[in-house]
Chain A
Amino acid sequence: MRSKKHFIWASIAILLVASLVLAACATTAEAPAAEAPAGETVAALPQGQELANAYAGQYKGKVVTMAGPFTDQDEVVFNDSIKGFEEKTGIDIQYEGSKEFEANINIRLDGGDRPDIVDYPQPGLLRYAVEKGYAIDMNTLINPDWIKTNYSDAWQSLAKMTGPNGEIVAGIWARANGKSFVFYPKAAFDAAGYKVPTTWDEMMALTQQIADDGDTPWCIGIESGAATGWTMTDWIEDVMLRVTGGEKYDQWVAGELKFDSPEMNEALDYIEAIWFNDAYVYGGRAAIPTINFGDAPKPMFENPPKCWFNRQGNFVTTFFPEESVAGVDYSFFYLPGIKEEYGSPVLGAGDIYAVFNDRPEVRAVIQYFSTGESLKVWVESGGAILTHNDASLDWYVDPVTRGVAETIRNATTFRFDGSDMMPGAVGAGTFWKYMTDYVSGSITREEALKQIDASWPK
């Protein structure tokens, strides 16, 4: 018995020593790459000194970690778009996309497991990181003058947030997203002799006509895993802008105008006329909460199309079949205005990049991302609109994205996605949840609106 016991302890000891040796091996293997050539002075670029250093190869072999919500096709395109920079500088940007990004990022930040750069799909989430004091002021990372030159005032003010040490520029904007668009299968649409509607009434008339012709006009799906419901809130915001205008919209987003208000009810009337009419929606009202937003437009590409309209942000084209051609197989029209006095408002959103670790190579990378150049490849492969002033309209290769970019620039009113600006408990919580319940029919409109109002943090 004794010898058996000794054997056990001896084996444990041996295994531990083995692991120690392995650990030591790993240490030595890592050592040579540790020191980068330093000291050489390179003339600074307008974005900052570090970007110039990076192009001079001073950060070769350094790793910069990034986290964000890009997965699947988006992740592939994003990685393509940074490849050139990585090759030029030798910096390895490791992007980690997560489908549960919204749910996980704050856990990671609180856990001290902070990626160098985080790509936020909505500024509301970033506000938490700013309040906790995690986010580093962009003015300390990038030449402030460059930020002022390369972003419009609207984008700049949207990036300002208040942390424990006062107001900071919490991040830099990357892609913009126009949301007021209705995509349709152009080839079949033209063949059927339909005309692009320019007013809301024309759109509803066309909707009825398509239904009469034996198809369901609208493709609507709001399922999105833990974030189910956001497509509905986008619709509401878009219609709100059209029935009450930008001023009331701002009050609503700030919590001053209640959800249970005549304005909101009027907006929902317009939406119900489409959503709750089973003849107008593919699969019927009950299917809306079960259809994924990315799957929703797919029946548009069947022959003949099973549904014809998909109101969504311009990013949705990445969910379209890879074989389909922009401007030929599909195109878009601007979601028409409802009341003339409010003109043609555009609802939008954007990706904002924040920095959580300050190292020279991280500075270089974020300085790079502050240039339109950084996402040129993404623009050229479609699906991206840039916020940067130095991005040229000529980069947009297909007529659809160029049209989207022009629509955003020509908008009489541009408003940021309201649910992204509201407190997280509402904008990423009750607003989604109760609107989903309302569409499913499990609660009434009145209940839904009252409960969202009640959930607003006091």
Chain B
Amino acid sequence: MNISQSKSPGANTPITKILSWFGTALGQLFISVLIPAITFLVLWQGYLFLQRAAAPQIVQVLVAIVWGVGGVALLYVVTNWLVMKLPKKIARTLQPFVFVGPAVVIMGWFLAVPVIRSLIASFKNYLGTEWVGLENFKFAFTDPRMLETFRNNLLWLVFGTFFSVAFGLLIATLADRSKAEVLYKSIIFTPYALSFVGAGVIWKFIYTYKGTGIGIREIGLLNAVVTALGGTPQPWLNLTPWNNFFLIVIMVWLQTGYAMVILSSAIKGVPAELLEAARIDGANEFKIFFSIIVPYIKGTLLTVTTTIIIFSLKTFDVVRVMTGGNNGTNVIANEFYLQSFTYNHAGRASAIAIVLLLLVTPVIINNVRSFNQQRRGF
């Protein structure tokens, strides 16, 4: 009987041998290759499964959800595990990139690179085969269709943003003083939960026009109201340029809820003592609103306004669903869509996209500046 043998009874069994081999450097390398390989294989199989789309829809959807969410989590775990296998010093330098890397790569792919690629494509012809210089930009800045979209986007930007924010602020302020706050806010927010397409259905139903003549009866709400008041029905969506405002009403109806929710949370942050003190001093509610509340929430107000300005510049769905851009309601994003997918003019489409980017540049600059100020604060 050998003591050393009895101490490790299983030392010679194949399993322990394999296990101990994994402890060696070679074994570590093997695992480092094997585990990512397995991960990759699992993800690849899932991808193929979804690609084939042979299973019942519900199974596919479940697999899609598990595969998508689980896959991303797994990738992080495996990459981090791999990095931690490396010598400590290298690991410490590499680890931050495990955290920020995927985000940076994806944003680069989906946003940064496309900006550059669009810029290049905007100097080429409609098939992207020949250089045409500034031809497409000449179109983007001088074509009457484009000028029409600029005018309309300006209307959207000014009126859409103003009324969304004004209504949002009004409701947020008033609701703050009411017992039924949650109810009011939920009602105003409801349209925000609706897709533009769904909103389009609703508003088509309001603006619909059947024509004039014997025995024709309006089924659209607005025309019914107008007729009841003794007016004549109108084809609201064809009335240039007023139809733009009828479309902007839809945007206000949708976006007010967003402005309200955010402004409401900011108003709740105004210290109660400040308001009380002002009231005791005899200030009326209007004065309190403009001299205390508004200055206090200025930052949030700016954020909300910025977001809605960007939204109004990018507006697309409402116009596409309601009028298709006809009758003087075209907007930049819709013209982009038409050029790109209906007329197949890649060059012009890219030029329009670049113009859109130029239009939001002031907002970018503002954003970067306020971010840098913020960083200095730390």
The answer to whether A and B touch in the complex, with CB atoms under 8 Å apart, is yes
For A458, give the chain B residue with the smallest CB separation: B135
A407 at the interface (CB under 8 A from B): no
Return A179 CB to nearest CB of chain B, in Å: 22
B213 near A216 with CB under 8 A, answer: yes
* Pair B77/A9 contact, Cβ less than 8 Å: yes
B291 at the A/B interface (Cβ < 8 Å)?
Answer: no
Cβ A29 vs Cβ B70 within 8 A? no
Contact A429 B343, beta carbon cutoff 8 Å? yes
**Contact of B208 with A225 in the complex, beta carbons under 8 Å:** no
Give Cα A228 to B145, complex, Å. Answer: 17
Name the contact of B45 in the complex, choosing from A24, A287, A433 (C-beta under 8 A): A24
| A154 at interface, CB cutoff 8 A | no
Given contacts A22-B55, A30-B54, A442-B240, contact A16 B66 (CB under 8 A): yes
Instruction: Kindly state the separation between the CA atoms of A237 and B341 in the bound complex, as whole angstroms.
Output: 25
Q: Given contacts A19-B63, A457-B126, list 15 more A-B pairs with CB under 8 A.
A: A12-B70, A29-B54, A106-B341, A278-B213, A283-B216, A286-B234, A287-B211, A289-B238, A290-B237, A425-B343, A429-B343, A440-B235, A442-B328, A443-B328, A455-B145
Residues A103 and B343 in contact, CB atoms below 8 Å apart: no
Asked if residues A16 and B74 are in contact (CB atoms below 8 Å), the reply is: yes
Closest-by-CB residue of B relative to A424 is B343
- In-complex Cβ contact of B235 among A13, A216, A286, A455 (8 A): A286
A226: Cβ under 8 A from any B Cβ: yes
B-contact 0/1 string along A375-394, CB 8 Å cutoff: 00000000000000000000
Q: Does A399 contact B (CB under 8 A)?
A: no
Asked if A291 is an interface residue, CB under 8 A from chain B, the answer is yes
Of the candidates A19, A286, A425, A443, the one whose C-beta lies within 8 Å of that of B211 is: A286
Nearest 8 A/B pairs, CB to CB: A283-B211, A287-B211, A442-B240, A23-B49, A425-B343, A440-B238, A12-B70, A15-B66
In the complex, the chain A residue whose C-beta lies closest to that of B325 is A433
- Please tell me if the beta carbons of A286 and B215 are within 8 angstroms of each other in the complex: no
Once the chains bind, are B342 and A424 in contact (CB under 8 Å)?
yes
Whether the Cβ atoms of B46 and A23 lie closer than 8 Å is yes
C-alpha gap A436/B329 in the complex (Å): 12
A437–B323 Cα distance when bound, in Å, is 11
Q: Is there an interface contact between A289 and B48, defined as CB atoms closer than 8 Å?
A: no
Q: Is B36 an interface residue (CB 8 A)?
A: no
In the assembled complex, A44 has its CB within 8 A of some CB on chain B = no
- Min CB–CB distance B127 → chain A (angstroms): 7
Interface string of B24-55 (1 = CB under 8 A from A): 00000000000000000010011011001011
Minimum CB distance partner of A102 in chain B: B342
A283 interface neighbour in B73, B210, B325, B345, Cβ under 8 Å: B210
**B361 contacts the other chain (CB 8 A):** no
In contact, A226 and B343 (Cβ under 8 angstroms): no
The interface bits of chain B over 230-265 (1 if a CB of A lies within 8 angstroms of the residue's CB, else 0) are 000011011110000000000000000000000000
Which residues of chain B are within 8 angstroms of A212 by Cβ–Cβ distance? none
Q: Report 17 cross-chain contacts, Cβ distance below 8 Å, ordered by A residue.
A: A16-B66, A16-B67, A19-B49, A22-B59, A22-B63, A23-B49, A24-B45, A26-B55, A102-B342, A103-B341, A225-B324, A228-B326, A282-B211, A290-B211, A425-B345, A428-B342, A437-B326
* Chain A residue contacts of B325, Cβ below 8 A: 433
A167 interface residue (CB < 8 Å to B): no
Does A283 contact B212, Cβ atoms closer than 8 Å?
A: yes
Please tell me if B338 contacts chain A, counting CB pairs below 8 Å: yes
Are A287 and B144 neighbours in the complex by a CB distance under 8 Å? no
Q: Which residues of B contact A443 (CB under 8 A)?
A: 240, 328
Q: Which residues of A contact B66 (CB under 8 A)?
A: 15-16, 18-19
A433 vs B144: C-alpha distance in the bound complex, in angstroms?
13
Report the minimum CB–CB distance from B179 to chain A (whole Å).
41
Check: B209 CB closer than 8 A to any chain A CB. yes
Q: If A437-B328, A442-B328 touch, does A16 touch B77 (CB 8 Å cutoff)?
A: no
Which of B74, B145, B210, B326 has the most C-beta atoms of chain A within 10 angstroms of its own C-beta?
A: B326
Binary CB contact string for chain B from 307 to 346 against chain A (1 if under 8 A, 0 otherwise): 0000000000000100011111000000000110111110
Hey, which chain B residues are within 8 Å of A23, CB to CB?
45-46, 48-49, 63
Min Cβ gap B241→A in Å is 8
Contact with B along A94-137 (1 / 0, CB 8 A): 00000000111011000000000000000000001001100000
Contacts of B49 in A (CB 8 A): 19, 22-23, 26
- B285 in the interface (beta carbon within 8 A): no
**Complex Cα gap A381–B48 (Å):** 42
Most chain-B CB neighbours within 10 Å: which of A20, A24, A451?
A20
Set of chain A residues within 8 Å of B235, measured between Cβ atoms: 286-287, 289-290, 440
Among residues of A, the one whose C-beta sits closest to the C-beta of B73 is: A12
Contact A103 B46 (CB under 8 A): no
Q: Considering only CB atoms, which chain B residue lies closest to A457 in the complex?
A: B126
CB contacts (< 8 Å) of A327 on chain B: these are: none
Question: What's the least CB distance linking A288 to chain B, in Å?
Answer: 8
What is the chain B residue whose CB lies nearest that of A291? B211
**What distance in Å separates the Cβ of A438 from its nearest Cβ neighbour in chain B?**
10
Contact among B143, B212, B342 for A284, CB-based, below 8 A: B212
User: Does A45 lie at the interface of the complex (its beta carbon under 8 Å from any beta carbon of B)?
Assistant: no
**A53 shortest CB reach to chain B, Å:** 26
A-side contacts of B126, CB under 8 Å: 457
Our pick among B73, B77, B212, B343 for the contact of A278 (Cβ within 8 Å) is: B212
Give Cα A31–Cα B48 distance, bound, in whole angstroms. Answer: 15
Residue A297 interfacial (CB < 8 Å): no
Q: Which residues of A contact B342 (CB under 8 A)?
A: 102-103, 226, 424, 428-429
Contact A287-B209, Cβ < 8 Å, known A19-B49, A30-B54: yes
Task: Please indicate the chain A residues that have their CB under 8 angstroms from the CB of B143 in the complex.
Answer: 454-455
Of the listed residues A26, A214, A428, the one surrounded by the most CB atoms of chain B closer than 10 A to its CB is A26
* Nearest residue, chain B, Cβ from A439: B238
Residue of A nearest to B220 (CB): A290
Residues from chain B with a CB closer than 8 A to the CB of A278 are: 212-213
Cα distance A264–B74 in the bound complex, in angstroms: 66
CA distance A278 to B216 in the complex (A): 14
Nearest chain B CB to A452's CB is how many angstroms away?
11
Distance in angstroms between the alpha carbons of A454 and B328 in the assembled complex = 17
- A175 lies within 8 A of chain B by Cβ: no
- Tell me which residues across on chain A come within 8 A of B71, comparing CB atoms: 16
Inter-chain contact B212/A286, CB cutoff 8 Å: yes
**A442-B327 in contact given A132-B127, A284-B213 (Cβ < 8 Å):** yes
**B234 contact set on A, CB distance < 8 A:** 286
Distance between Cα atoms of A288 and B209 in the complex (Å): 10
Residues on A with C-beta less than 8 A from B326 are 228-229, 289, 433, 436-437, 440
Q: Encode A1-43 as 1/0 by CB contact (under 8 A) with B.
A: 0000000010011011111101110100110000000000000
